[in-house]
Amino acid sequence: MFLSMSFRLRVEVEALNMVEAMGAYSRHRTVSLLRYRGDGKGYRLVIAPAVSGQALAFGYMKSLVDLAQIKNLPLCDQCINYEAKGGFIKHGTDEKGDVESLVKNCIVEDITGFMVAEAKIRRTSPIQFSYMVPDIDISDVAIEPQFHVRGAKPGEKPQPFQVEAGTAIYILGVALDIDKVGVVPSGDGKPKKVAENRVERIKTAIKVIANLLEGLSFGAKKARYLPIYDVVGAVAAISHPVQFMVTPARISKEYNYIVRTATRAANYVKLFRDVNEVIKIFYMDKEGVVSDLKIEGIDIAKVEDTAELISKIIEFVESNIRD
C-alpha cells in the first residue's frame, strides 16, 4: 500500500521557517515558483514564502517521539533525548549499527530513515514531505517585514529589529510508503518483517500526520508569531499494488485538484487492471471546490476535517493490510 496526500493550508502572519539574520533583519525562507501568464506566453517566476520539507519532517519526528512514548512503542536513546542532543542525530555516530536492529528498536528510525556513514548502511525514509509552498495560481502572497523593538537595559538605547512574516494559501504534499514500515530488504529480494507490532507502527505513522497539522507541531518562532491557521482542503489516495500520487492541491479556473485526482485515478486503475490496481480516495473541501464527486471505478469518500480524514485512512488501511 502507498498513501499520498495533498493539503491546502490557510496561514496568515507566520514566521515558521526563517533562514538567516542580516543585522537586525530576519528573513523568511523563499522559493521560486512558476505562475502561468494566461496569455499564451508561458510562465513567469514568482518569489514566494515557503516552509521547507526538513522543517516539516522535524516536526513530524517530534510528534512521533511524543506519541510513541505514550503508546510504549520502541525508541532509541538518541531519539528520546533529541532535545538535549540538539536534534535527531539519525545514528550518524553509530559505527556498529545494522539496518535490522535500528529499524526494530526505534520507530523513528523505521519511519523517517537514517544514514550511518561509518557502517555504510542507510534507510530511505518511508515518509516523504514536500516544501510547503503558496498556491499562486488563485491567490496573492505577501512577505512583509514587521517592526519590533527590544526592551533596553539601563543606560542603553532600545534595539529595533524586523522579522519577515508570510501570508498565503499554502500547498503541502505528504506521502507514506506503507509497505516499507517495519520491514527491511532481505537476501532473497523479499521484504523481511522485523517489527512485531507492524500494524500499530503503521497506524501511528499515519496518525502523527494529524498531529503535525491539527496540532501545528512544526515550525519556529511560535511564541510570538503563532500563525492564524486552518486546513481548508485536502485529497488523499491509498493505492495498491502500484504507487499512485495525488494531484497537488492547486485551484484555478481550469484546474480542480480533487476532480483531477479522481479522474487520473480512474485512468490509472484501467491502465493497471492486469495487476488488479485499487485506489481509494478521500477528500476534504471547505472552499466549495466540488459539490458531489462520483467517478466510475473509483471509491471516493468525503470527510469534514483532518482528524476524520486520518481516521478514515487508518480504518481502510487496517482492514486491508496484511501484517
What does pTM read for this prediction? 0.92
**Count of Cβ atoms closer than 10 Å to residue 33 Cβ:** 19
In the chain, the N- to C-terminal Cα span, in Å, equals 12
Write down the pLDDT at residue 243. 97
Residues in the chain predicted with pLDDT less than 50, given as ranges, are none
| Cα–Cα distance for residue pair 15/221, rounded to 1 Å | 6
Q: Are 233 and 74 in contact (CB under 8 A)?
A: no
Report pLDDT digits (tens) over 193-241. 888 889 999 999 999 999 999 999 999 999 999 999 999 999 999 999 9
Q: Are 225 and 15 in contact (CB under 8 A)?
A: yes
Contacts of 193 (CB under 8 A, 6+ apart): 182, 183, 323
Q: How many CA atoms lie within 13 A of 21 on its CB side?
A: 5
Question: Which amino acid appears at position 190 of this protein?
Answer: K
Write down the pLDDT at residue 192. 87
Pairing of strands 278-285, 114-116: unpaired
Calculate the CA 2 to chain-centre distance.
14
> What is Dmax (Cα atoms) for the chain?
79
Write down the pLDDT at residue 323. 67
Region for residue 91 given its phi and psi (left: phi exceeds 0; alpha: psi -120 to 50; beta: otherwise): left
Q: Give backbone dihedrals phi and psi of 77, rounded to 5 degrees, phi first.
A: -65, -35
C-alpha dihedral sign at 320, 307, 4, 288: positive
Query: What is the residue whose three cell numbers read 538535549?
Result: 84
Mind spelling out the 3-state secondary structure of the chain?
A: CEEEEEEEEEEEEECCCEEEEECCEEEECEEEEEEECCCCCCEEEEEEECECHHHHHHHHHHHHHHHHHHCCCCCCHHHHCHHHHCCCCCCCCCCCCCHHHHHHHCHHHHHHCEEECCCCEEECCCEEECCEEECCCCCCCEEEEEEEEECCCCCCCCEEEEEEEEEEEEEEEEEEEHHHCCEEECCCCCEEECCCCHHHHHHHHHHHHHHHHHCCCCCCCHHHHCCEEEEEEEEEEEEECCCCCCCCCCECCCCEHHHHHHHHHHHHHHHCHHHCCEEEEEEEECCCCCCCCCCCCCEEEEECCHHHHHHHHHHHHHHHCCC
| Cα–Cα distance for residue pair 89/73, rounded to 1 Å | 19
What average pLDDT does the structure give for the chain? Answer: 91
Write down the pLDDT at residue 206. 98
Q: Bridge-partner residues for 22, per DSSP?
A: 25
Write down the pLDDT at residue 41. 78
